[in-house]
């Protein structure tokens, strides 16, 4: 995280590195049932496991037409939709977001990422590339820990994935009417808009959800009071008599019947918050399904843990092979991001992403500003990013392992809050051609898998990054930011140097970073949390997202994408949950679906 001087801290890097900072306590510990908001949400320990005879037969009262693994961005709208006609069990490994002030308020955006406790809404991980990252662990998924920006996918993306455009255009508004808002623009975002237009990212398309070349304002899931509205609130439209949501329910594996011509999903095994194991069973009908909605990391991980994946990899971990498929976990990608910090001569009001520049050279330009936290947030230890202690300069680059970072942070607890002045310009690569893979580190589902994204492995991605950094630099130098930056005395080279020195990731740095933009891109790459892939259509799942080679198993989330939709994917992933729910109902019931 770059900072200039002793009291200016770069927030985009702060947001990423705070994912790994220890806290004295968690804001999401044991909760009363009233905080679950909806009567169908219960703790996993309340579940009554079935007898072995019921499990094998798929008959009885406590069986389900659909078992959805993952109550996240896609899983919540999917469960709400399917419950209109069928009995649905939604299993979420995390807790609820409703009473967690660090999830609920824009002012605490970075705080949720800082919580490393077992019940945190976010789970930190580091890719093998050395980039710090986080994945959601809460009902509502990524919509609980992201920057809130809402914008639709391009029409090209919808056509490419083969979705019914009419049904898509019914599904987006269903989400938007419930949780999406028009943002109240901050002066910083207005200046950013004018700067984008000055550097040629035009025309100005005003406020719109649509993906259009030029500059625009998008929607947000934060309301005018700065309160976050998540995918979990889409459950309000469910049939409360047909939906059961279990939180703190960690699925261990999918259970298959392998006696037929091809493996058939019959249920799942999960553990509750006390560590006790339970069995959830599908109704014994051909169209009943287990649906994975665990995200780009969770869904391929669950397939592998359940015996679907490359045979050699599974056998190394003594996992019984249900289906040999070499493509599970392959094609993982993340939209790489780099940033330019803009120090200001006065404090700036906090704003997350509201404005975006969509270029024709394959780069998105966004901005954010300010820093703060509410009085009722958990105490945040800023650790290695504290302005008082500097960065990990005492640890040589090659020794900056995760363990070293942890030990360093542990020694730097209870630090005072920094005074922050400034904002930042982000450039991120659209549709990266560089891809990697996901493999199991072990057979413990609570542990993160091993993920490699191979950032900038493809030369075209690196070329676009250079163009993006140059564009971001022009934006910083625009006359519209001079009111904020005059008298700061910082040149672009100094700002880039500050980024290089700030340990934004665990990648060893080079001394010529600011002279070589290629090296700068490689050495200062960070994530924007838009990873996708691992369960690609045509390789792991069919066009209707059914897992190839097995029956009664489907994947509905971003792991099926080979590119991240639009400038920010949450709108399309929520829409996808609604869309696939409607499609499943129509395919199964025809005109009688009545949705």
Among residues 315, 254, 234, the alpha carbon closest in space to that of 67 is found at: 254
> What gap in Å lies between CA 507 and CA 170, rounded to an integer?
44
Active site residue 241: no
Interacting residues of 595 by C-beta distance below 8 A, sequence separation 6+: 81, 84, 85, 582, 585, 586
Q: Enumerate the known binding-site residues for FAD.
A: 92-93, 138, 251, 529-530, 558, 569-570
DSSP state of 318: T
Q: Which of 110, 229, 278, 530 is catalytic?
A: 530
Q: Are 418 and 8 in contact (CB under 8 A)?
A: no
pLDDT in tens, the chain (595 residues): 232 232 333 333 343 343 333 232 333 333 444 578 899 999 999 998 764 445 555 555 679 999 999 999 999 999 999 999 999 999 999 999 998 888 988 877 777 776 777 778 989 888 999 888 889 999 999 999 999 999 999 999 999 999 999 999 999 999 999 999 999 999 999 999 999 999 999 999 999 999 999 999 999 999 999 999 999 999 999 999 999 999 999 999 999 999 999 999 999 999 999 999 999 999 999 999 999 999 999 999 999 999 999 999 999 999 999 999 999 999 999 999 998 878 888 878 888 899 999 999 999 999 988 765 445 444 444 333 332 223 334 445 555 566 665 665 554 443 334 445 778 899 999 999 999 999 999 999 999 999 999 999 999 999 999 999 999 999 988 899 888 877 666 677 777 776 776 667 777 777 665 568 999 999 889 888 999 999 999 999 999 999 999 999 999 999 999 999 999 999 999 999 999 999 999 999 987 777 6
CB atoms within 10 A of CB 58: 18
Kindly report the CA angle at 129 between 407 and 335, in degrees rounded to 5?
120
Domain boundaries, the chain: 184-217+336-429+456-524
Q: Residue 513: name the closest of 528, 537, 493, 533 by CA.
A: 493
Q: Exposed, middle or buried: residue 375 (CB in 10 Å: 0-12, 13-18, 19+)?
A: exposed
Cα 97 to its chain centre, rounded Å, is: 15
Residue tagged 């390789």 (tokens): 539
Tokens at 135, concatenated: 């994945």
Instruction: Name which of 255, 245, 283, 252 is nearest 46 in CA terms.
Output: 245
pTM: 0.88
Domain covering 184-217+336-429+456-524 in this structure, CATH number? 3.30.410.40
HSE of 137 in the Cβ direction (CA atoms, 13 Å)?
27
**List of residues 6+ apart from 521 with CB closer than 8 A:** 336, 338, 456, 462, 465, 466, 469
403: how many CB neighbours lie within 10 A of its CB? 9
Strands 214-217 and 204-207 turn out to be parallel
Binding positions are: 92-93, 138, 251, 529-530, 558, 569-570
Q: Report the C-alpha gap between 116 and 97 in whole angstroms.
A: 16
- Between CA 330 and CA 203 the distance in angstroms is 38
């Amino acid at each position: 995280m770059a900072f200039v001087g002793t009291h200016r801290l770069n927030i985009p890097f702060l947001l990423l590195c705070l994912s790994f900072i220890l806290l004295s306590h968690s804001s999401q510990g044991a909760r009363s049932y009233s905080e679950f908001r909806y009567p169908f949400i219960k703790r996993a320990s309340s579940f009554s496991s079935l007898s072995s005879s019921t499990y094998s037969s798929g008959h009885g009262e406590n069986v389900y037409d659909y078992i959805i693994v993952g109550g996240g961005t896609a899983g919540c709208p999917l469960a709400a939709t399917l419950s209109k006609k069928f009995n649905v069990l939604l299993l979420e490994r995390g807790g609820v977001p409703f009473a967690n002030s660090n999830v609920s308020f824009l002012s605490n955006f970075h705080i949720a990422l800082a919580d490393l406790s077992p019940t945190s809404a976010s789970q930190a991980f580091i890719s093998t590339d050395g980039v710090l990252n986080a994945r959601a662990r809460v009902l509502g998924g990524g919509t609980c820990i992201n920057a809130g920006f809402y914008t639709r996918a391009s029409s090209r993306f919808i056509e490419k994935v083969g979705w019914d455009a009419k049904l898509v255009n019914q599904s987006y508004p269903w989400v938007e009417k419930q949780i999406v808002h028009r943002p109240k623009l901050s002066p910083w975002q207005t200046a950013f808009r004018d700067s984008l237009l000055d550097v040629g990212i035009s025309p100005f398309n005003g406020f719109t959800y649509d993906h259009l070349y030029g500059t625009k304002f998008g929607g947000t899931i934060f309301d005018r009071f700065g309160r976050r509205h998540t995918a979990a609130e889409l459950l309000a439209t469910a049939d409360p008599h047909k939906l059961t949501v279990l939180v703190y329910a960690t699925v261990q594996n999918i259970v298959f019947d392998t006696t037929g011509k091809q493996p058939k999903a019959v249920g799942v095994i999960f553990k509750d918050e006390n560590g006790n194991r339970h069995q959830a069973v599908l109704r014994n009908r051909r169209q009943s399904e287990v649906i994975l909605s665990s995200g780009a990391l969770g869904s391929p991980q669950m397939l592998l843990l359940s015996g679907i994946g490359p045979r050699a990899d599974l056998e190394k971990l003594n996992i019984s092979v249900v289906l040999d498929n070499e493509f599970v976990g392959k094609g993982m990608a993340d939209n790489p991001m780099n940033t330019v910090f803009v120090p200001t001569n006065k404090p700036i009001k906090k704003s997350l992403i509201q404005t975006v520049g969509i270029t024709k050279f394959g780069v998105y330009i966004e901005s954010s500003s300010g820093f703060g936290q509410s009085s009722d947030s958990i105490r945040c230890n800023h650790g290695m990013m504290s302005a008082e202690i500097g960065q990990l300069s005492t640890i040589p680059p090659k020794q900056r392992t995760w363990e070293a970072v942890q030990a360093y942070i542990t020694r730097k607890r209870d630090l005072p809050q920094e005074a922050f002045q400034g904002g930042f310009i982000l450039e991120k690569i659209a549709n990266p051609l560089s891809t990697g893979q996901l493999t199991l580190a072990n057979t413990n589902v609570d542990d993160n898998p091993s993920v490699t994204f191979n950032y900038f492995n493809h030369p075209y991605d690196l070329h676009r990054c250079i163009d993006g950094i140059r564009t971001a630099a022009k934006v910083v130098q625009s006359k519209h930011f001079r009111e904020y930056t005059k008298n700061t005395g910082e040149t672009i080279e100094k700002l880039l140097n500050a980024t290089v020195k700030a340990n934004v990731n665990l990648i060893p740095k080079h001394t010529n970073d600011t002279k070589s933009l290629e090296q700068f891109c490689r050495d200062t790459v960070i994530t924007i949390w838009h990873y996708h892939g691992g369960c690609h259509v045509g390789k792991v799942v069919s066009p209707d997202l059914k897992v190839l080679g097995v029956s009664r198993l489907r994947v509905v989330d971003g792991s099926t994408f080979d590119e991240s939709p639009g400038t920010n994917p949450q709108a399309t992933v929520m829409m996808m949950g609604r869309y696939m729910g409607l499609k499943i109902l129509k395919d199964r019931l025809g005109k009688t679906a009545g949705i």
